[in-house]
Amino acid sequence: MDKRKFLQKLGVAATAGVTGSLLSCRETVSKKADVPYINFNKTYRWKMTTTWPPNFPVVGEGCKMMADWVRKMSGGRMDITVYGGGELIPALEGFDAVSNGAIEMNHGAAYYWAGKLPAAQIMTTVPFGMDAQQMDAWIQAGGGDKIWQELYEPYGLMAFPAGNTAVQMGGWFNKEINSIQDLKGLKMRIPGLGGKVFARAGGTPMLQSGGEIYTNLERGVIDATEWIGPYHDYLMGFHQVAKYYYYPGWHEPGSVLELLVNKAKFEELPTDLQEIITSAALRLNRWMGAEFDAKNGEYLEKIKAVEGLELRRFPDDVLQTLQKYTDEIMSEMIESDPLARRVYEAFNDFRSTIRPWMDISNKIYYETMI
């Protein structure tokens, strides 16, 4: 197809003098039109920071993969440079940096912003809440995305689901957990709403960076830690300094990872680049969940082979008590925060809708698998 016909196909009037680069579409095609606005004359160079250490397995490498997908799909017109936590800004300052436009993107999790926006925690996970499949269904098809965007709108932000850890492990302990009393006085690295529940059980939740955990567990500064799952836990070497590995991860049953984007800068992009970023984030969301499951299956076998290590399930009464404490804490949270109430009610409404289906589909299937 020659250049004139191509321009006409895009809805752009070609002139007899077109012999050089393609005409800009901005003046002739509205973003609201069915025909996409594509500017072949401009290259966009964006920065993405992350809350993860540089080149961190799965999550960090996934961000670099996404940047590569965007570059390829855009024909090089969109170039995203990825920075690990601390390389450009401190790991947990991505929210403010994207909000004020200092950077364009950040990859992390909404519960990291609990200090300024408590309701955001719900968009990552709720203890004993929905799993990864259910969270995806809520966000992408059940109205969760709409409320997520409204939550971030005052900060000039947009959010895209961009990964999920799925059900995590319960954590590494140097003490047996036979009853809820065994959690009293225990010092554990555990963040978010799960940390508040752990405190209600009499434990002491502690926030520590990934680089500190191994040494602190080895030296007894902490008695336990949660991290992610078998793959990352094995790479961190926790099996060398803790005896008991507990499951399930009641505190994080399906943690959604997010791509934060500066809304004004996103809306300035040609529509094809907007769609490319949206599609790449969804691809990352699916890839990351699949990669976690694949690697965790492989590395669980490595952990089970470690001499002296004991893989344990939390006793039923411990889980039941932790669930009771979760209900108490969520009730207190929504009583004091109207925004959290709105988000949590939407979360619960969808959960009550999807649960009957999950009960006769996934749950029954898993219970009867041979």
Summarize pLDDT for 205-216 with one digit per residue, the tens: 998 767 789 999
Does position 8 have pLDDT exceeding 90, yes or no? no
Give the residue carrying structure tokens 């009037």: 13
Q: Helices 59-73 and 271-304 sit at what angle, rounded to 10 degrees?
A: 150
H-helix segments, 159-270: 192-200, 210-219, 230-236, 263-268
Supply the mean pLDDT for the chain.
90
* Tens-place pLDDT, residues 9-26: 334 333 333 333 333 333
* Predicted confidence band of residue 38 (pLDDT cuts 50, 70, 90): confident
Asked which of 15-24, 104-113, 215-224 is least confident by mean pLDDT, the reply is 15-24
Q: What is the C-alpha separation between 139 and 135, in angstroms, rounded?
A: 6
CB distance 82 to 48 below 8 Å: yes
Q: What is the C-alpha separation between 34 and 2, in angstroms, rounded?
A: 22
Does position 168 have pLDDT exceeding 70, yes or no? yes
Q: What is the pLDDT of residue 17?
A: 39
Q: What is the pLDDT of residue 118?
A: 94
Q: Which tokens go with 101?
A: 């436009």
Asked which of 73-77, 145-149, 212-216 is least confident by mean pLDDT, the reply is 212-216
* Predicted confidence band of residue 70 (pLDDT cuts 50, 70, 90): very high
SS3 305: coil
Does position 232 have pLDDT exceeding 90, yes or no? yes
* Tens-place pLDDT, residues 311-328: 999 999 999 999 999 999
CB distance 45 to 101 below 8 Å: no
SS3 45: strand
Q: What is the pLDDT of residue 207?
A: 80
Asked which of 2-16, 134-148, 226-240, 319-333 is least confident by mean pLDDT, the reply is 2-16
- Domain 168-251+307-332, CATH number (from 3.30.420.40, 2.30.40.10, 3.40.190.10, 3.30.420.10): 3.40.190.10
Which residues, other chains included, contact 230 with Cβ-Cβ below 8 Å and sequence gap of 6+?
169, 295, 296, 297, 299, 300, 302, 303
Enumerate the domain spans of the chain: 1-41, 44-164+257-293, 168-251+307-332
With residues binned 3-state (H G I as helix, E B as strand, rest as coil), the percentages for the chain, rounded to 5, are: 50, 15, 35
- Domain 44-164+257-293, CATH number (from 3.40.50.720, 3.40.50.300, 3.40.190.170, 3.30.830.10): 3.40.190.170
* Tens-place pLDDT, residues 239-298: 999 999 999 999 999 999 999 999 999 999 999 999 999 999 999 999 999 999 999 999
44-164+257-293 and 168-251+307-332, same CATH topology = yes
Nearest to 355 by CA among 142, 120, 122: 142
E-only strand ranges, the chain = 44-50, 78-83, 105-108, 157-164, 171-173, 187-189, 204-206, 224-225, 244-247, 256-262, 310-313
Q: What is the pLDDT of residue 34?
A: 61
φ and ψ of 189, to 5 deg: -75, 110
Q: DSSP for 10-26, please give it.
A: TT----TT--SSPPPST
Question: What percent of the chain is predicted at pLDDT more than 70?
Answer: 89
Using H for helix, E for strand and C for coil, what is the string for 269-299? CCHHHHHHHHHHHHHHHHHHHHHHHHHHHHH
Does position 354 have pLDDT exceeding 50, yes or no? yes
Q: What is the C-alpha separation between 173 and 151, in angstroms, rounded?
A: 36
Q: What is the C-alpha separation between 5 and 50, in angstroms, rounded?
A: 43
Q: Which tokens go with 9?
A: 């196909």
Distance of CA 299 to the CA centre of its chain: 22
